[in-house]
Amino acid sequence: MSSRIPLGIRQCNRLLAAPIYSSNEAPSQARLFSTSQVHYERHDCKVLVVGGGSGGCAMAAKLSSHLGKDKVIVLEPEDRHYYQPMFTLIGGGMKRLEQSYKTMAEVLPKKAKWVKEKAMEFDPDNNTVCTSGGDTIKYDFLLIATGLQLKYEKIPGLAEALEVPNGKVCSIYSPKYAEGVYDVLRRTTGGNLIFTFPDSPVKCPGAPQKIVYIVEHYFRKLGKRDKVNITYNTALPVLFGVKHYADALWPICKKRNITVNTRRNLVEVRHAEDIAVFEDLENPGQLCEEKYSLLHAVPPMSAPDELTKCRKLMNTAGFVDVNNSTLQHVRYSNVFAIGDSSGTPNSKTAAAAAAQSPVVFRNMIAAMEGKPLTEVYDGYASCPLVTGYSTCILAEFDYSLTPLETFPVAQNKERYSMFIMKKDFMPLLYWKLMLPGHWNGPGLMRKLFGVFKPNKK
């Protein structure tokens, strides 16, 4: 439902400071439009979903199927929806960028209304969101699914280095740069190869080291492994947050002669000199310079600025302040969050969003009906740790960082079967089941496979 709001009484936009002219006309020749003729939309909906990523699409599908046509609005400015877990494989030359996306029109549910604009201002006290086009969206319930923004500009010199033609700096984290990783890799003939993990939360926290293993395997396959030194500098105090899998990854690094430096954070890139500057987080202010032939940089990340401006919605860490179990906002009972922008302390992965989706859906419906919220999210996340061109360790765990594995085999071992599942099966599951709202994570599979697992005493 929508209605026109005259400029003089609309809620979101500031008055235009200059006259409005028709395009391609000089002011002296232009046809001046009266501002009284400019109108902006006001939309009303049962549920507003802000963000058309993994969680937003899945939830829009579930909610619009339950509530009916045009009861759900999805606010999303992008034309393309990317399957971002594929970016690591693209960086290793195993997939192409065009295989990683579909148009937003293809993946958003037909029963939902798509407003192709960006959320600019959140006003949870009045149940409204203002858009980049000047519209106001009034909602009964709000689902925040904005994901994270990449902040390459926060590291001096990094954004500029990524734009250098035939340069040596690359990053799998953006569709703008993902294909360029393999180009840099093929141009590299020797020297120091440096990979980073930033001092901030990131989406898919296993990806920064997946590309390390892929690149190491690439040079082994070429018979040129002895020509390169490979270093992984991570701001974290550990190689991987779940000890069960970290204990399997450390021997891989040792066997493959990958140097791992913890608590080392990239703070500057001087691409003209091929130098990366790192800070020792154990000794703040202590810097070291490292020369590189290839630098793979992971940018700092945060919730979108437009969202963090609304402090009433955010926790002190800068993420949406929701209950860890119900995913309902701690102050606004008609606000929920899903995915990477949520303040829940789980690993930020697509698998986590899938596991959150039935919890958010059922709890939102319960809230609409005035019933208690009974569904609980246990923090499940999954990270298929690709360790080369044919192997993968499938990490699955919960809030407590306890393994929560699906299959009746030891998942802390490198397996070809897990690699094929990651490379070929998971993209199909994502497009065909998760985005249409039919995939709720592997919980049911885990129960079925449980009969084949040995009993632990």
Cβ(313)–Cβ(307) under 8 Å?
Answer: yes
Confidence at residue 20, expressed as pLDDT on a 0 to 100 scale: 39
Query: Tens-of-pLDDT digits for all 457 residues of the chain?
Result: 544 443 333 446 543 334 433 344 444 444 444 444 556 788 999 999 999 999 999 999 999 999 999 999 999 999 999 999 999 999 999 999 999 999 999 999 999 999 999 999 999 999 999 999 999 999 999 999 999 999 999 999 999 999 999 999 999 999 999 999 999 999 999 999 999 999 999 999 999 999 999 999 999 999 999 999 999 999 999 999 999 999 999 999 999 999 999 999 999 999 999 999 999 999 999 999 999 999 999 999 999 999 999 999 999 999 999 999 999 999 999 999 999 999 999 999 999 999 999 999 999 999 999 999 999 999 999 999 999 999 999 999 999 999 999 999 999 999 999 999 999 999 999 999 999 999 999 998 998 888 787 765 4
Active site residues: 204, 383
Helices (H), 265-304: none
Confidence at residue 25, expressed as pLDDT on a 0 to 100 scale: 41
Closest among 49, 39, 134 to 353, alpha carbons compared: 49
Confidence at residue 451, expressed as pLDDT on a 0 to 100 scale: 78
Confidence at residue 38, expressed as pLDDT on a 0 to 100 scale: 55
How many other β-carbons are positioned within 10 Å of the β-carbon of residue 382?
23
pTM: predicted TM-score of the whole model, two decimal places: 0.91
Give dist(CA 248, CA 270) in Å, integer.
35
How many other β-carbons are positioned within 10 Å of the β-carbon of residue 255?
8
DSSP 424: I
Q: What is the DSSP string of 227-275?
A: GEEEEEEESSSSSSSSHHHHHHHHHHHHHTTEEEEESEEEEEEETTTTE
Helices (H), 3-111: 54-67, 87-91, 104-107
Residue 336 structure tokens: 């929920």
Q: What domains does the chain contain, in order, with CATH numbers?
A: 42-148+303-451 (3.50.50.60), 152-302 (3.50.50.60)
Closest among 285, 207, 291, 221 to 256, alpha carbons compared: 221
Give dist(CA 22, CA 30) in Å, integer.
6
Closest among 409, 408, 410, 348 to 380, alpha carbons compared: 348
